[in-house]
A and B are shown apart, each in its own frame.
Chain A
Amino acid sequence: MQPNRSGRPRTALFDDPTFRGIVYQVLLCLLIALAATAVVRNVIANLARNRITSGFGFLDQTAGFDISQTLIEYSVQTSTYGRAFWVGLLNTLLIAGLGIVLATLLGFVIGIARLSSNWLLRNIARGYVEVIRNIPLLLQLLFWYNAVLKALPEIRESFFQGSGMLLNNRGLFLPQPVVGPGAGWVLLAFVLGVAATFGLRLVAQRRRELTGQITPQLLPALALIIGLPVVVFFVVGAEVELVYPQLGRFNVSGGVEILPEFAALLFGLVIYTAAFIAEVVRAGLLSVPKGQLEAAGALGLRRREVLNLVVIPQAKRVIIPPLTNQYLNLIKNSSLAVAIGYPDFVQIFTGTVLNQTGQAIEVVVITLAVYLALSLITSAAMNWYNARIAYPGR
């Protein structure tokens, strides 16, 4: 083949990879554009035939349905679909946030138990992981809700009668603390305590890096986070009154109510996700080479110090990315709330609002956008944390 002027071999146009690539891409884009046009045309025709007006105006209409758990003010008569959207979103965030915290705790405990030197503990933990991971989450949720919580006694035969709380098939009722005007100060003290703990942590880390000395952190942290608010609470006058739930004939009045739907969903999500987190933790801990442990031992570190200074910092880097995936799964799985009637975002918005308004496209698009946003925010936060703890220069 003779090179042409530009130095490239002369080939038939279609044998030129660059040209072929462009042709393929143009064809692909054309195909997708054609399909999209056909879809849009069909949608317009179908909507016109079913007399559905498109647009997001429906969000301002009055919703007119009741929601069993609302974190913000919501009334059947006046609240709009837009308000229902926020109620659902907050309920989803509540269950996802609590679920992530509890599943992480349980998952770490079980993951560490899987590596225990105690044969019984190790195998119980393994059995837990195997059984829970191999049964669909939906089945577990239905089990907790229908076979456990709905099988609790009727209101009149509630458990724990006379102890200030009540447990029956309508939920768990706890005493509600009603606080005096000093509550703001207690809250402020708590926030300050948390902030001071973080500050102390930074100082301690600095000191360790500079001098190699270890500053005790647990006790000061407890004193700041728990002790400080307690002191302030007594200083401002210890004004708190407990409102106990009252047992009526057919219902319970007063107190804080935890819905059985909420409890079942939280239980199911935590137990299911913890099994996966346990495996992530186990793999992370096993990824630390044995030589590191032996070297730490040879340096004279104690068991706790080996764990805190050698194992965890290295395992953390392996654990974070798959842990992020489990958090994302938990957020997405919280949408199974529909099965047991917990008013989460999907149940309220993609369920009830869609059925009442018939605005299928708008509602589904909003739903997808919300979950995409949640996923992106979570993974962005975890990536930020991961980047912060990553080894420099790798």
Chain B
Amino acid sequence: MIAVTEDDIFVRSQRVSVLPPPLAAAGPIGWARANLFSSPVNTLLTIAILALLVWIVPTLVRFLFIDATWSGADRDACLAGPHDEAGACWAFVRDRFSYFIYGSYPIGQRWRVDTFFAMLAFGSAWLLWLDAPRRDLGALYFFVVMPVCAYVLLNGWPLIGLQSVDTALWGGMLVTVVVTTVGMVASLPLGILLALGRRSSLPAVRILSALFIEFVRGVPLITVLFMASVMLPLFVPPAWAPDKLLRALTGIVLFSSAYMAEVVRAGLVAIPRGQYEAASALGLRFWRMQRLIILPQALRITIPNIVNSFIALFKDTTLVFFVGIFDFLKTIEVARVDPKWATPVTSATGYAFAAVFYFVFCFLMARYADRIEYRLARADRR
């Protein structure tokens, strides 16, 4: 038997440093193993997608940037092209850029449009920034002051020296923005009224609201626009016949307020009964109860959905195209067939430009809605 002495025992007095994980399980390789090549099927999928990307991405980059023509006076610049393949004709977009923004709005008066854009940006920022000071004033500005000022500014008022500009001359982004803004500003209050009406205890109010909402939601926007554009002039005495833009706006407002009503109604349904009962117990009547207790809570939780329906509205404004309004998309359609710039790549370039414009705005709005939703969820967890 061997005696164990003191010297044979080893006791480590310091911690062993932690070994790094095996290369195959951590770092980029481990990540790729877990996320790209975890099974034979996944490996095949990864390879297939990579092949697809290798095929598509360089083609797109070549078309949009490398082979693109950036400047030039007319179609010849884009036909020749610096390389063999004709790339996007950005010179066309640069040349017609002011048309895409202002349409045929008189050149000397375009500062009015710029002012309107600035006012709108200011109002939107005030309302969208939830921690902004005095958002009640912001709402007043956005829903009352700004629409009046914008009308005077864009339409003109000869009495104060602003010459009137016929709406037939309006076009491009200006019209897209005007239609979207009017749709938003009018559809929110109308939508709230309709939603309250649909939940009203008075049968006549309830039935009429429900009929309107379901009717509008059951038909395509394009038919509502047709209805507004061909039937509205028949509904009023000839002297009052609304101009084309006003007809289209009526259609858009009717349509979007029905959808907004359903969004708001979802928010109203989510408010617990106890809130209504407590408000009644305090002696509040219908309107004060709605204004002070119910709507502030219901609208707050509906903000993400309201923003989402604004995104839908923004995309839907392209449909005014069909009733002869020169919105942004229509100006692209007109410009791309203009013989001055007609080349095989002009259409694709115009559409790419329009796609970027719509995508950026819709994407930003969607991200904003997501952020609010996250913020509300966090507030609920607390």
| Contact indicator B234/A43 (Cβ below 8 Å) | yes
Considering the complex, give the chain B residue whose CB is closest to the CB of A140: B355
Stretch of B16-24, B72-80, B222-230 contacting A (4+ beta carbons < 8 Å): B222-230
A130, A139, A338, A367 interface centre (most CB from chain B within 10 Å): A139
Contact of A117 among B35, B237, B321 (CB under 8 A): B35
Residues of A close to B217: CB separation below 8 A = 375
Contact of B49 among A45, A120, A364 (CB under 8 A): A120
Residues of A close to B363: CB separation below 8 A = 130, 134
Known: A42-B234, A119-B35, A367-B223. A136 touches B42 (CB 8 A): no
Known: A118-B36, A139-B318. A368 touches B347 (CB 8 A): no
Considering the complex, give the chain B residue whose CB is closest to the CB of A124: B49
Q: How far is the CA of A364 from the CA of B217 in the complex (A)?
A: 16
| Contact indicator B222/A336 (Cβ below 8 Å) | yes
**What 1/0 mask marks residues of chain A from 113 to 152 whose CB sits below 8 Å from any chain B CB?**
0001111110010000011011111110011001100110
Whether A34 is near chain B, meaning CB under 8 Å from some CB there, is no
| Contact indicator B238/A350 (Cβ below 8 Å) | no
Q: How far is the CA of A110 from the CA of B238 in the complex (A)?
A: 53
| Contact indicator B329/A143 (Cβ below 8 Å) | no
Which interface class (under 10, 10 to 19, 20 to 34, 35 or more) fits B? Answer: 35 or more
Whether B271 is near chain A, meaning CB under 8 Å from some CB there, is no
Known: A372-B219, A375-B219. A364 touches B236 (CB 8 A): no
Q: How far is the CA of A142 from the CA of B208 in the complex (A)?
A: 38
Q: How far is the CA of A21 from the CA of B197 in the complex (A)?
A: 13
A376 smallest CB distance to B (angstroms): 7
Considering the complex, give the chain A residue whose CB is closest to the CB of B314: A136
Whether B124 is near chain A, meaning CB under 8 Å from some CB there, is no
Whether B358 is near chain A, meaning CB under 8 Å from some CB there, is yes
| Contact indicator A361/B231 (Cβ below 8 Å) | yes
| Contact indicator A134/B223 (Cβ below 8 Å) | no
| Contact indicator B219/A368 (Cβ below 8 Å) | yes
| Contact indicator B318/A138 (Cβ below 8 Å) | yes
| Contact indicator A138/B329 (Cβ below 8 Å) | yes
Q: How far is the CA of A28 from the CA of B193 in the complex (A)?
A: 14
CB-contacts of B348-379 with A (<8 A)? 348, 351, 354-355, 358-359, 362-363, 366
Whether A4 is near chain B, meaning CB under 8 Å from some CB there, is no
Q: How far is the CA of A45 from the CA of B348 in the complex (A)?
A: 48
Residues of B close to A14: CB separation below 8 A = none
Known: A28-B204, A135-B358, A139-B351. A118 touches B46 (CB 8 A): yes
Whether A47 is near chain B, meaning CB under 8 Å from some CB there, is yes
| Contact indicator A42/B205 (Cβ below 8 Å) | no
Q: How far is the CA of A102 from the CA of B208 in the complex (A)?
A: 37
Known: A118-B45, A139-B351. A335 touches B50 (CB 8 A): no
Considering the complex, give the chain B residue whose CB is closest to the CB of A132: B359
| Contact indicator B218/A364 (Cβ below 8 Å) | no
Q: How far is the CA of A117 from the CA of B32 in the complex (A)?
A: 11
B89 smallest CB distance to A (angstroms): 12
Whether B201 is near chain A, meaning CB under 8 Å from some CB there, is yes
Residues of B close to A134: CB separation below 8 A = 311, 315, 358-359, 362-363, 366
CB-contacts of A354-387 with B (<8 A)? 354, 360-361, 364, 367-368, 371-372, 375-376
Contact of B233 among A46, A335, A371 (CB under 8 A): A46
Whether A348 is near chain B, meaning CB under 8 Å from some CB there, is no
| Contact indicator B219/A360 (Cβ below 8 Å) | no
B281 smallest CB distance to A (angstroms): 15
Q: How far is the CA of A376 from the CA of B336 in the complex (A)?
A: 40
Whether B322 is near chain A, meaning CB under 8 Å from some CB there, is yes
A278 smallest CB distance to B (angstroms): 15
A194 smallest CB distance to B (angstroms): 31
Contact of B234 among A130, A131, A147, A360 (CB under 8 A): A360
| Contact indicator A338/B204 (Cβ below 8 Å) | no
B95 smallest CB distance to A (angstroms): 19
Q: How far is the CA of A39 from the CA of B316 in the complex (A)?
A: 28
B34 smallest CB distance to A (angstroms): 8
CB-contacts of A1-60 with B (<8 A)? 21, 24-25, 28-29, 32, 39, 42-43, 45-47, 49
Closest 8 CB pairs of A and B: A134-B362, A119-B35, A332-B220, A25-B204, A136-B315, A375-B218, A360-B230, A335-B220
Query: Would you give 26 A-B contacts (Cβ < 8 Å), ordered by A?
Result: A21-B202, A25-B203, A28-B205, A42-B234, A43-B235, A118-B36, A118-B38, A118-B46, A120-B35, A131-B359, A134-B315, A134-B359, A135-B315, A138-B319, A139-B318, A139-B329, A142-B333, A328-B218, A332-B220, A335-B220, A335-B222, A339-B321, A360-B234, A361-B231, A364-B223, A364-B231
**B interface residues with partner A (beta carbon < 8 Å):** 35-36, 38, 42, 45-46, 49-50, 201-205, 208, 215, 217-223, 226-227, 230-231, 233-238, 311, 315-316, 318-319, 321-322, 329, 333, 336, 344, 347-348, 351, 354-355, 358-359, 362-363, 366
**A interface residues with partner B (beta carbon < 8 Å):** 21, 24-25, 28-29, 32, 39, 42-43, 45-47, 49, 116-121, 124, 130-131, 133-139, 142-143, 146-147, 150-151, 328, 332-333, 335-336, 338-339, 346, 350, 354, 360-361, 364, 367-368, 371-372, 375-376
Query: Given A138-B329, A332-B221, A375-B217, list of 20 further CB < 8 A pairs?
Result: A21-B202, A28-B204, A117-B35, A117-B42, A118-B36, A121-B46, A124-B49, A130-B363, A134-B315, A136-B315, A136-B318, A146-B351, A332-B220, A339-B322, A346-B226, A350-B223, A354-B226, A367-B219, A372-B215, A375-B219
